[in-house]
Amino acid sequence: MCTFAPLSRFEQWWVRGWDFPRLQLFFLSLLLLTAELLLLDLSFTKSRIIIAAGLACTMYLVWWIIPYTRLSFKEVAQAINPEPDNSLEIMVSNVLMDNQKAHLLLKVVQDNDPDILVTLETNSWWEDQLRDLEQDYPYSIKCPLENRYGMHVYSKLELVDFKIRYLIERDIPSIRARVVLPSGRKVQLHFLHPSPPSPTEKETSKERDAELITIAKEVSPDDEFSDMGAEDPDPVVVTGDLNDVAWSQTTRLFRKISGLLDPRVGRGMYNTFHAEHSLIRWPLDHLFHSHHFNLIRIKRLPYIGSDHFPILVALELTNGEDNEGSGLEASQDDEEMAEDKLSE
């Protein structure tokens, strides 16, 4: 039941929650299958049925998680001799609003020196703690909130056309901007932190799903209503704590509709949550991008006192030829599902 529950389209938190522990369920299923093979009498039909069911569950879970291992092909090409003027390095960190260890985050920023730092769950206290960053990061977008959905962006590169928006819920922001690379080329950026389905937040995933699909349609090459401009040629990066795992039905739908790529495919899961429980971890912090980029590097960064690890992704802006044909294709059923989620 736990394995196959996410196949349904029910949006209640207790169903969608089973999207998350695919890796943990795989190891439990493998352990159970091993025990069945060792302990059950294969001469009985009932035993063979039980083992077949266990094998089906295990193989089904493998199908979901194998793209996020090195056994799969790389969806995004590796950059070779990247051009500094066309490179962009972004660090994303959900700081946990009540976390008082700002010095740990500042140390990680100093050690890694990203072009852009995105912080989530940052309130006015965190804004004060990060003020020294403005010496090296002269461009910033600040949205301090006390509801765990505050957001700040600090950039060494010029940010233009930025806007703080409340797409689905009036107290949960997202940020859209363009960054100007040293070469003069512009990249469209979207920073997100939708609310999760959980017993303490939302009873269903409707709000989270709607925000992801809204952004997916906005950045899609087939978008018809984006106020960024119907013929906007900019490459795209979408990043943040999406409160969803990479292999879920909703995130896969987001990727199909948007046409964006996941640099983790073929490289690893890069689990960022929960930072304090090594046996219960999954990837909640994401960066997706259009086919215009090759990957320079991706890594999970050290512990900063939060329940999330920061993650850093460095990209090289190219002509996009290396990644043509990569990504997930949207079917008619996917398009209809996306429309249903928005209409709800």
| 94: in domain | yes
| 204: in domain | yes
| 77: in domain | no
| 251: in domain | yes
| Residues 215 and 331 both lie in one domain | yes
| 78: in domain | no
Split into its structural domains, the chain has a count of 2
Per residue in 230-244, pLDDT (tens digit) is: 444 689 999 999 999
Q: Measuring CA to CA, which residue among 161, 178, 168 is closest to residue 214?
A: 168
**How high is the pLDDT of residue 202?**
76
| Residues 43 and 155 both lie in one domain | no
| Residues 22 and 103 both lie in one domain | no
Coil vs helix vs strand at 52: helix
**How high is the pLDDT of residue 229?**
42
CATH number of 332's domain: 3.60.10.10
Q: Band of the pLDDT at 320, cuts 50, 70, 90?
A: confident
pLDDT at 10 over 90: no
Q: Note down the domain range covering 36.
A: 5-68
Long-range contacts of 161-170 (CB under 8 A, 24+ apart): 161/228, 167/210, 167/211, 167/214, 167/215, 168/194, 168/207, 168/210, 168/211, 168/214, 169/195, 169/207
Structure tokens at 213: 């699909």
* Contact predicate 323/77, CB 8 Å: yes
| Across 247-269, average pLDDT | 96
| Residues 314 and 231 both lie in one domain | yes
| Residues 56 and 123 both lie in one domain | no
Q: What are phi and psi of 205, to 5 degrees?
A: -95, 10
| Residues 44 and 122 both lie in one domain | no
Angle subtended by helix axes 206-219 and 249-258, to nearest 10: 20
Per residue in 80-138, pLDDT (tens digit) is: 999 999 999 999 999 999 999 999 999 999 999 999 999 999 999 999 999 999 999 99
pLDDT at 336 over 80: yes
Q: 192 — alpha (psi -120 to 50), left (phi > 0) or beta? A: beta
In this prediction the pTM is 0.92
